């Protein structure tokens, strides 16, 4: 039962989760509460440093409870890649008070759901349970915040689990491998170049001591944000938090989050990955661009509007030009990750129709981008993009987990509750000139890696 519950968690592909988050971040970024009549969000800080965000939603007697730690794969020590994600798995292995699997079992008995996720910047755990069970879940989560106990007997088999996960999600997935290679080539100095799941040869060496050392360094109330969305009042949630998380002593020395930064990019890079399992070739280009946290005011919002106009949905420039008019592609689009502590990525991608080469598709993609740089966007496009971005955020109030995710991802990547609430206003202020400027400034080839995924016809089985 426990194993089954855990299996469910493990079966949500990390890449899929990350991509889903990226798509959400690109399309929605941050909801539009302040003046879009969303709920009043409460924000507290406990004396031990824990931040608590409460998003009331009384439509049904359920709550979504998430704890976000401000630590991800970019905080790992080089040579120990995959450790943040490995620890995410090991967090289910029990404490002095609750043996392995007890927490998951309790959530299952409540009829609840649970999950966990790791990215470059944060690690999160969440449960969706009846609101009457909220405090129980918080007590369990507070217990494993500093009470985790690990032995080789549980650590070593779990290492096999993450290795198999790496195999399924990356090793056997040429598209995911392409992204991994592009990111490694994009970031010359930043730890964002490392895969979140880890390099396999380093994952194989991860130990119990690595995991416990990482846990003791980064897990504590003063490095965590609890986000609760659902059928609870801020005062109730605060009282529960004080009774549970409030009892946990702060971790003495949480290190500052200063990661190596990128040098100025000066050389356009390209890579080709051939794999015999490829049926549909892929063109993917990632550009190094500012995140909301590293951007000057307005730059990140202009990139969000640009990503929408260029490549979100079937009315986008890329889709219209490449799929509809020129009939060169079966898919085409663009995305931007705004939520990141350090410099982030803007991507364009496409897959050619039969008989169209990747260079042909790339030239046509370049032409679309160059047109935006040279001639800008129309007022109509700008207004449609803004309306859609803000509307999507409003619609997203409908989902507790999405709401909690926006706040959690913002607060663990350098933004504040006010930044989240003011997002619709900032989107409204974006001008057509700013979008054109963003395209000109950031969609420069020297800032990018262009990747081709092609079918390998030479080797029946690729060594990897």
Catalytically active residues are: 88
As a whole number of Å, the CA-based R_g of the chain is 22
281 lines the binding site for its own copies (CB under 8 A): no
Q: How far is the CB of 321 from its own copies (least distance, A)?
A: 25
* Cβ neighbours around 139 below 10 Å, total: 17
Among 132, 153, 268, 433, contact with its own copies (rule: CB under 8 A): 268
Q: How far is the CB of 40 from its own copies (least distance, A)?
A: 40
Q: Which residues in 411-444 are b (16+ Cβ under 10 Å) and which e?
A: bbbbbebeebbbbbebbeebebebbbbbbeebbb
Counting residues that bind its own copies (by CB under 8 A) gives 38
Q: For its own copies, give the closer residue by CB, 23 or 188.
A: 188
Q: For its own copies, give the closer residue by CB, 342 or 381.
A: 342
Burial of 254 (0-12, 13-18, 19+ CB in 10 A): middle
| Phi and psi based region of residue 118 (left: phi greater than 0; alpha: psi -120 to 50; beta: remaining) | beta
Q: How far is the CB of 9 from its own copies (least distance, A)?
A: 26
266 lines the binding site for its own copies (CB under 8 A): yes
User: Taking CB under 8 A as the criterion, which residues in 243-262 touch its own copies?
Assistant: 258-261
Q: How far is the CB of 352 from its own copies (least distance, A)?
A: 19
463 lines the binding site for its own copies (CB under 8 A): yes
Q: For its own copies, give the closer residue by CB, 252 or 266.
A: 266
Q: For its own copies, give the closer residue by CB, 161 or 185.
A: 185
7 lines the binding site for its own copies (CB under 8 A): no
Length of the chain in terms of residues written: 464
Q: For its own copies, give the closer residue by CB, 188 or 280.
A: 188
Q: Following CA atoms 216, 219, 221, 225 in sequence, which dihedral angle do they give, to the nearest 10 degrees?
A: 170
CB-CB contact of 89 with 79 (8 Å): no
| Phi and psi based region of residue 340 (left: phi greater than 0; alpha: psi -120 to 50; beta: remaining) | beta
Q: Following CA atoms 134, 137, 139, 141 in sequence, which dihedral angle do they give, to the nearest 10 degrees?
A: -130
Q: Show the beta-strand stretches assigned E in 119-258.
A: 123-130, 224-230
Instruction: Please report where in the chains the tokens 């030479």 appear, as a residue.
Output: 458
1 lines the binding site for its own copies (CB under 8 A): no
Piece of 47-55, 78-86, 293-301, 370-378 that binds its own copies (CB under 8 A): 78-86
Q: How far is the CB of 331 from its own copies (least distance, A)?
A: 21
185 lines the binding site for its own copies (CB under 8 A): yes
191 lines the binding site for its own copies (CB under 8 A): yes
Contacts of 329 (CB under 8 A, 6+ apart): 322, 323, 350, 351, 352, 353, 356, 361, 364
Q: For its own copies, give the closer residue by CB, 260 or 298.
A: 260
Q: How many CA atoms lie within 13 A of 13 on its CB side?
A: 13
H or E stretch including 123?
strand 123-130
Q: d(Cα 329, Cα 454) in Å, to the nearest integer?
A: 15
Write out the two tokens for 308.
């929408």
Among 11, 79, 256, 460, contact with its own copies (rule: CB under 8 A): 79
Q: d(Cα 371, Cα 228) in Å, to the nearest integer?
A: 44
Which is nearest to 339 in space by CA: 404, 298, 388, 295? 295
User: Taking CB under 8 A as the criterion, which residues in 155-184 touch its own copies?
Assistant: 177-178, 181, 184
373 lines the binding site for its own copies (CB under 8 A): no
CB-CB contact of 48 with 251 (8 Å): no
397 lines the binding site for its own copies (CB under 8 A): no
Q: How far is the CB of 169 from its own copies (least distance, A)?
A: 15
Piece of 21-29, 211-219, 268-276, 387-395 that binds its own copies (CB under 8 A): 268-276
Q: For its own copies, give the closer residue by CB, 387 or 446.
A: 446
Q: How far is the CB of 329 from its own copies (least distance, A)?
A: 22
Give the residues lining the site for its own copies (CB under 8 A). Answer: 78-79, 81, 177-178, 181, 184-185, 188-189, 191, 193-194, 199-202, 258-261, 263-264, 266-274, 445-446, 451, 462-464
């Amino acid at each position: 039962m426990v194993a089954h519950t855990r299996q469910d968690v493990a079966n949500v592909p990390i890449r899929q989760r990350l991509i889903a988050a990226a798509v959400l971040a690109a399309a929605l970024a941050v909801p539009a509460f302040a003046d879009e009549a969303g709920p009043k969000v409460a924000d507290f800080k406990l004396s031990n440093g824990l931040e608590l965000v409460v998003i009331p939603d009384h439509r049904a007697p359920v709550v979504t409870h998430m704890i976000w730690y401000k630590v991800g794969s970019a905080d790992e020590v080089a040579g120990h890649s995959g450790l943040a994600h490995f620890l995410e798995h090991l967090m289910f292995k029990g404490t002095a008070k609750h043996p392995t699997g007890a927490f998951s079992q309790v959530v299952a008995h409540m009829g609840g759901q649970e999950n966990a996720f790791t990215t470059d910047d944060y690690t999160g755990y969440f449960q969706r349970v009846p609101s009457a069970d909220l405090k129980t879940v918080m007590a369990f989560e507070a217990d494993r915040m500093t009470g985790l106990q690990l032995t080789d007997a549980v650590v070593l088999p779990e290492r096999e689990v993450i290795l198999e996960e790496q195999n399924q999600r990356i090793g056997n997935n040429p598209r995911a491998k392409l992204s991994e290679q592009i990111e490694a080539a994009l970031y010359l100095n930043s730890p964002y170049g490392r895969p979140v799941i880890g390099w396999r040869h380093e994952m194989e060496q991860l130990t119990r001591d690595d995991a416990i050392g990482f846990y003791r360094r980064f897990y504590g109330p003063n490095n965590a944000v609890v986000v609760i969305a659902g059928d609870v009042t801020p005062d109730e949630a605060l009282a529960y938090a004080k009774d549970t998380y409030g009892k946990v002593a702060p971790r003495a020395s949480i290190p500052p989050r200063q990661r190596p930064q990128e040098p100025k990019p000066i050389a356009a890079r390209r890579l080709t990955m051939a794999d015999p399992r490829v049926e549909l070739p892929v063109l993917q280009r990632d550009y190094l661009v500012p995140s909301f946290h590293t951007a000057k005011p307005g730059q990140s919002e202009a990139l969000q509007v640009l990503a929408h106009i260029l490549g979100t949905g079937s009315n986008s420039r890329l889709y219209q030009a490449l799929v509809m008019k020129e009939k060169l592609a079966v898919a085409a689009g663009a995305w931007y990750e705004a939520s990141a502590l350090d410099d982030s990525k803007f991507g364009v991608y496409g897959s050619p129709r039969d008989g169209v080469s990747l260079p042909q598709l790339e030239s046509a993609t370049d032409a679309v981008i160059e047109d935006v740089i040279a001639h800008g966007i129309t007022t109509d496009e700008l207004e449609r993009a803004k309306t859609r971005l803000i509307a999507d955020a409003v619609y997203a109030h409908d989902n507790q987990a999405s709401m909690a995710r926006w706040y959690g991802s913002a607060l663990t990547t350098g933004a504040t509750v006010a930044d989240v609430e003011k997002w619709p206003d900032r989107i409204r202020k974006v001008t057509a000139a700013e979008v054109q400027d963003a395209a000109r400034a950031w969609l420069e080839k020297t800032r990018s890696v262009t990747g081709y995924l092609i079918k390998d016809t030479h080797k029946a089985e690729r060594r990897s």
